[in-house]
Amino acid sequence: MFLKRIELTGFKSFADRTELEFVRGITAVVGPNGSGKSNISDGIRWVLGEQSAKSLRGGNMQDIIFAGSDSRKAVNFGEVSLTLDNMDKVLPLDFSEVTVTRRVHRNGESEYLINKQPCRLKDITELFMDTGIGREAYSIIGQGRIEEILSTRSEDRRGIFEEASGIVKYKSRKKEAQKKLEDTENNLLRIHDLVSELK
């Protein structure tokens, strides 16, 4: 699996639809300060479900929408699509190419799509779980993050190894199952109460 393409429209400094094609191997993005290099990696994290405006260097989520410049009016929505080569079927979908899209409108409405089909954020999170690509995963290391990883708490470091070893999805399913069990136990208690009230 590798990132083949990213398309940004109305996202941060990318007012017009901008498409970047990647090939296998190493790609370096170079450009003057403030030209939008980091906005590309922000775009990648955003599609993968980043929910923190602060970590995308904004005050709120609408700040990711192109806000206008001296020569251009602001736009009404921001959209980013990532296309991944999935010939090796690392992503559990029967497609050789997978495109994930996130779109947000000024009124706060937001949409997620997998291969143009609307989906939930959860579907995107689960799709990338244990692949190392998720928004919290180790494949995107932001400025200053290396130092943070080296000095961070051992539990946080363990999280990185858990993602790499592919057990995060099982931990997440275990958590969901435990929550369901708890809810069921609470429902049972409630039923017992009702039964004893009726007796």
Q: How far is the CB of 31 from ligand ATP (least distance, A)?
A: 5
Give me the residue label for tokens 């599609």: 47
Coil, strand, or helix at residue 79? strand
Q: How far is the CB of 184 from ligand ATP (least distance, A)?
A: 46
Q: How far is the CB of 160 from ligand ATP (least distance, A)?
A: 24
Q: Is the dihedral of CA 19, 94, 91, 134 positive or negative?
A: positive
Q: Which is nearer to ligand ATP, 17 or 190 (CB)?
A: 17
Q: How far is the CB of 69 from ligand ATP (least distance, A)?
A: 6
Q: Which is nearer to ligand ATP, 15 or 114 (CB)?
A: 15
Distance CA 120, CA 130 (A): 18
Q: Say which residues have a Cβ less than 8 Å from residue 130's Cβ, sequence separation at least 6.
A: 163, 166, 167, 168, 169
34 is in an annotated binding site: yes
Give me 195's structure tokens: 């039964």
Q: How far is the CB of 177 from ligand ATP (least distance, A)?
A: 41
52 is in an annotated binding site: no
Distance CA 143, CA 139 (A): 13
Is residue 132 within 8 Å of 139, Cβ to Cβ? yes
Kind of pairing between the strands at 97-105 and 18-21: unpaired
Q: Which is nearer to ligand ATP, 61 or 164 (CB)?
A: 61
Q: Which is nearer to ligand ATP, 118 or 142 (CB)?
A: 142
186 is in an annotated binding site: no
Q: Which chain residues interact with ligand ATP by CB under 6 A?
A: 12-13, 31, 33-39, 63, 65-67
Q: Which is nearer to ligand ATP, 4 or 12 (CB)?
A: 12
32 is in an annotated binding site: yes
76 is in an annotated binding site: no
37 is in an annotated binding site: yes
Please state the φ and ψ torsions of residue 81, each to the nearest 5 degrees: -125, 135
Residues at the annotated binding site? 32-39
Residues at the annotated binding site for ATP? 32-39
